[in-house]
């Protein structure tokens, strides 16, 4: 390892050591955290029939709480509507009900929909921190028709995992005075310490009220100068008979499919069909109060619904897709870190997997291991990345441990691996986050990677062994009127994190972002104005300039749930490296003398509005200069995105979106790209739906002005029809049809080349 690498590692260790030393000092967060209002939850022996009617006797014994404070966009102003919550538990369930009154119930925004799809509706729910350590919280929300929304908030990374799906009950009823909701949360879906008879958790009750503005109504006031809202929610005691689940849950799965393919460039080719029936089994076991084991054997890791379309022309780095598969989603927050080191979409088709997660006092831990029948790897660079596949089985896994020194300081270690018989990638590192006070925090991470590349995809054609480092430090100030984010990160030229999503290497980045907020009054036509400025600069490891940019933007929240943003960007960037034009030359990652620099100036306009409960729209326009990477020149660029969503009634929804992009260079078109998506859904009730999806990509290349293009047309069409019935996230039935069609210059019209009929059934069984 060179002197430069050691210098950065020493610098990073010094930062972490400083945080550790500072962490010994008295905790400012402990002084300022709002915990003064403690609630006591009553216990009952009664059970609840969850139907939304609120006529059971147990609600007479429940704790009453009023939600009367608007935290956002108003700063702890009185709520314009009345909301009453009740909470009680019986040793198996936490029961929560809401009566959400509305002076104009005809304006209630609520429709039937699939789980986690109605976040823009009227919602009531709560945050629950079951370890009371202000690191993670469960979030449960329900719309007026009982549609469930849940996610896990991670205060360490300031992210939420909406893909998590717990098994719980809810029901909603619209009334002449508003709506009311009942919620039953079983203890067995929660992680918590049940060593104490009386438990102390933290809870915040919330109502989301979208009318002219999107009001967040709570039962507590929140200090905007304290960036950790989770740190401020009050404690709640009780749950005396609550026991964390030690039960097994078995989920057998059966998938049947018929897949047909044909060679579309040979008209006489017949369809070739393949039938497949596959069985799998998932096991979920609470080993003890704090530890959860997940095991999967021969899982169905396919996504039932296709990913949303993305434009890919003139993109130099790999595209990111969200994880939706249940085995990886559950407790995925235990593996989160500042760098994205665990991107499980890299694991394509495993035959088995096992995962262990848990929390014990100040210690949190997680480990998983899977195999994969193929191996997909993102090879990073300083100006681009590429995806390769090894036709051999591999193992993938990760280990993460976090120690919470106190409420301000956390330190963690993480390690990931991917390996085959003649290839491996091991990454290990340490990370830390320290809250200096309510508004200021530091975060740092150091990583080392050891890689062995097989000869088949190494640059030299020979087996190669190498190692390198990565390092990041961030400072954040987050208060009522100002946000300041400053970051510096460095990733070595030979650093790889093959299990993660890190498509860029051999670069050093420094950036500063400043946001200033101006707030309106409750009766104003606007609620919040943001004025922002950003500066960033990127070099490679040799110190050669990759990019220098400045940006400024102005945004405002307006009436009719509208939001407008204008951003101006000026960037000095490098284009295509010259060696990439000649594949016979050895790869040279240097910049100076090996590429050209271009000045991009762009304006971006964005707007969204919801003029009625049934109709919402979104629009974005980007116009200015853009590098034509394939031909290494500067062009004139325009991109337009539009989206409309219309709920015909509470059952039927139409969503249409279109993206258009066009690049011109040397007074002629280079390419024109159109991406069209149509999604129609009919929700019979909260348990079943029918969906029809169409995704069409139409790309036209100008062969006379595009030396790298081999076809003037590149069109893809996919359609999908799905019926689903879901008792809960694990007990489901799917029946679907999908097909894919393609067209290029060799075909006169778009031709279907693949079609599939499939069915999936799974059942969550508690023995």
**Of 334-343, 473-482, 487-496, the least confident:** 334-343
The CA-atom distances, in angstroms, between 321 and each of 306, 309, 385, 618 are 11, 10, 16, 21
Give the global pTM: 0.85
Q: How confident is the model at residue 328 (pLDDT cuts 50, 70, 90)?
A: confident
Beta-bridge mates of residue 2: none
Distance of CA 456 to the CA centre of its chain: 34
Residue 316 reports pLDDT greater than 70? no
All structural domains of the chain, each given as residue ranges with its CATH number in brackets, are 33-238 (2.60.40.1190)
Residue 221 reports pLDDT greater than 60? yes
Residues with Cβ < 8 Å from 84, sequence gap 6 or more? 64, 65, 66, 67, 98, 99
Q: What is the pLDDT of residue 245?
A: 57
Q: Is the separation of the CB atoms in 232 and 407 below 8 Å?
A: no
- Mean pLDDT of the residues in the chain: 87
Q: What is the pLDDT of residue 415?
A: 96
Strand, helix or coil for residue 306: coil
List the one residue out of 103, 137, 105, 140 whose CA is nearest residue 124: 140
The pLDDT tens digits for 698-727 are 999 999 998 878 899 999 999 999 999 999
Residue 428 reports pLDDT greater than 70? yes
Q: Is the separation of the CB atoms in 207 and 240 below 8 Å?
A: no
Give the DSSP letter string of 535-565: EEEEE-TTS-EEEEEEEEEEEEEETTTEEEE
The pLDDT tens digits for 489-542 are 999 999 999 998 888 889 899 999 999 999 998 888 999 999 999 999 999 998
List the one residue out of 602, 619, 524 whose CA is nearest residue 563: 619
Within 13 A of 446's CA, how many CA atoms are on the CB side? Answer: 15
**Of 22-26, 174-178, 407-411, 664-668, the least confident:** 22-26
Enter the tokens of residue 241: 């008979």
| Cα gap 415→430, rounded to integer Å | 9
Q: What is the pLDDT of residue 37?
A: 58
Q: Percent of the chain at pLDDT above 70?
A: 89
Strand, helix or coil for residue 29: helix
The pLDDT tens digits for 558-580 are 999 999 999 999 999 998 876 55
Residue 632, Ramachandran bin (φ over 0: left; ψ between -120 and 50: alpha; else beta): left
Q: Percent of the chain at pLDDT above 90?
A: 62
Within 13 A of 663's CA, how many CA atoms are on the CB side? Answer: 24
Classify strands 39-40 and 235-238 as parallel, antiparallel or unpaired. Answer: parallel
Residue 42 reports pLDDT greater than 90? yes
Residue 359 reports pLDDT greater than 80? yes
Q: Is the separation of the CB atoms in 83 and 230 below 8 Å?
A: no
Q: What is the pLDDT of residue 33?
A: 40
**Of 153-162, 490-499, 629-638, the least confident:** 153-162
Average pLDDT, integer, range 156-184:
89
Element (H, E) at 328: helix 326-329
Residue 3 reports pLDDT greater than 70? no
| Cα gap 466→379, rounded to integer Å | 14
| Cα gap 617→609, rounded to integer Å | 6
Q: How confident is the model at residue 648 (pLDDT cuts 50, 70, 90)?
A: very high
Q: How confident is the model at residue 5 (pLDDT cuts 50, 70, 90)?
A: very low
List the one residue out of 161, 159, 139, 163 whose CA is nearest residue 216: 139
Give the DSSP letter string of 442-457: EEEEEEEEEEEE-GGG
Within 13 A of 62's CA, how many CA atoms are on the CB side? Answer: 26
Higher pLDDT, 133 or 652: 652
List the one residue out of 440, 17, 407 whose CA is nearest residue 231: 407
Average pLDDT, integer, range 92-103:
96
The pLDDT tens digits for 267-312 are 778 899 999 898 989 898 888 767 889 998 887 655 455 444 444 4
């Amino acid at each position: 390892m060179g002197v430069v690498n050691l210098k950065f590692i020493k610098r990073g260790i010094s930062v972490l050591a400083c945080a550790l030393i500072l962490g010994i000092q008295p905790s400012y967060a402990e002084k300022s955290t709002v915990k003064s209002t403690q609630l006591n939850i009553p216990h009952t022996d009664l059970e609840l029939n969850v139907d939304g009617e609120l006529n059971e006797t147990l609600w007479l014994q429940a704790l009453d709480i009023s939600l009367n404070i608007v935290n956002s966009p108003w700063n702890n102003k009185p709520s314009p509507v009345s909301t009453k919550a009740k909470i009680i538990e019986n040793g198996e369930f936490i029961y929560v009900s809401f009566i959400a009154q509305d002076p104009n119930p005809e304006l209630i925004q609520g429709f039937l929909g699939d789980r986690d799809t109605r976040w823009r509706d009227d919602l009531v729910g709560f945050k629950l921190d079951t370890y009371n350590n202000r690191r993670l919280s469960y979030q449960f929300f329900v719309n007026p028709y009982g549609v469930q929304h849940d996610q896990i908030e991670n205060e360490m990374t300031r992210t939420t995992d909406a893909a998590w799906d717990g098994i719980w009950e809810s029901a909603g009823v619209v009334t002449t005075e508003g709506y009311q909701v009942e919620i039953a949360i079983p203890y067995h879906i929660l992680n918590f310490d049940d060593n104490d008879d009386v438990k102390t958790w933290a809870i915040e009750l919330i109502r989301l009220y979208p009318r002219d503005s999107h009001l967040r109504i709570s039962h507590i006031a929140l200090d905007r100068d304290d960036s950790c809202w989770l740190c401020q929610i009050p404690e709640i005691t009780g749950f005396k008979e609550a026991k964390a689940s030690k039960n097994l849950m078995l989920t057998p799965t059966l998938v049947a499919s018929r897949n047909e393919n044909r060679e579309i460039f040979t008209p006489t080719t017949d369809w070739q069909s393949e039938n497949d029936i596959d069985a799998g089994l998932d096991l979920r076991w609470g080993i003890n109060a704090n530890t959860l084991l997940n095991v999967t054997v021969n899982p169905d890791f396919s996504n039932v619904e296709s990913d949303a379309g993305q434009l890919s022309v003139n993109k130099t780095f790999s595209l990111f897709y969200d994880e939706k598969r249940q085995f990886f989603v559950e407790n995925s927050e235990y593996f989160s870190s500042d760098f994205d080191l665990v991107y499980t979409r890299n694991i394509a088709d495993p035959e088995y997997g096992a995962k262990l997660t848990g929390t014990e006092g100040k210690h949190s831990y997680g480990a998983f291991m899977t195999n994969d029948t193929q191996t997909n790897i993102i090879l990073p660079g300083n100006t681009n990345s590429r995806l390769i596949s090894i036709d051999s089985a591999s193992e993938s896994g990760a280990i993460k441990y976090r120690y919470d020194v106190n409420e301000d300081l956390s330190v963690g270690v993480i390690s990931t691996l991917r390996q085959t018989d003649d290839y491996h990638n091991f990454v290990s590192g340490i990370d830390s986050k320290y809250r200096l006070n309510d508004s200021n925090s530091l975060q740092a991470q150091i990583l080392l990677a050891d890689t062995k590349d097989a000869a088949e995809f190494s640059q030299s054609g020979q087996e190669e062994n190498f190692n390198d480092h990565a390092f990041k430090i961030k400072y954040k100030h987050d208060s009522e009127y100002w946000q300041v984010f400053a970051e510096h990160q460095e990733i070595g030229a030979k650093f790889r994190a093959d299990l993660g999503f890190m498509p860029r290497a051999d670069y050093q980045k420094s950036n500063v972002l400043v946001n200033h907020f101006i707030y309106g009054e409750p009766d104003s036509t606007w609620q919040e104005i943001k004025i922002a400025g950003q500066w960033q600069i990127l070099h490679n490891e040799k110190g050669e300039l990759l990019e220098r940019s400045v940006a400024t933007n102005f945004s405002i929240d307006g009436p009719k749930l509208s939001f407008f943003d204008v951003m101006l960007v000026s960037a000095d960037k490098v284009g295509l490296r010259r060696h990439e034009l000649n594949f016979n030359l050895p790869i040279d990652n240097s910049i100076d003398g090996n590429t050209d620099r271009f000045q991009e100036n762009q304006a971006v306009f964005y707007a969204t509005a919801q003029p009625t409960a049934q109709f919402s729209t979104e629009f974005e326009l980007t116009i200015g200069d853009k590098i034509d990477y394939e031909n290494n020149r500067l062009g004139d660029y325009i991109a337009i995105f539009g989206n409309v969503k219309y709920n015909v009634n509470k059952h039927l929804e139409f969503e249409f979106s279109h993206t258009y992009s066009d690049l011109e260079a040397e007074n002629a078109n280079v390419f024109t790209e159109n991406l069209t998506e149509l999604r129609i859904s009919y929700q019979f009730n909260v348990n079943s739906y029918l969906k029809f999806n169409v995704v069409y990509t139409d790309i036209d290349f100008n062969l006379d002005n595009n030396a790298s293009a081999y076809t003037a047309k590149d069109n893809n069409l996919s359609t999908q029809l799905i019926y689903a019935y879901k008792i809960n996230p694990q007990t489901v039935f799917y029946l679907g049809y999908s097909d894919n069609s393609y067209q290029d210059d060799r075909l006169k019209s778009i031709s279907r080349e693949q079609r599939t009929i499939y069915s999936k059934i799974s059942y969550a069984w508690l023995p």
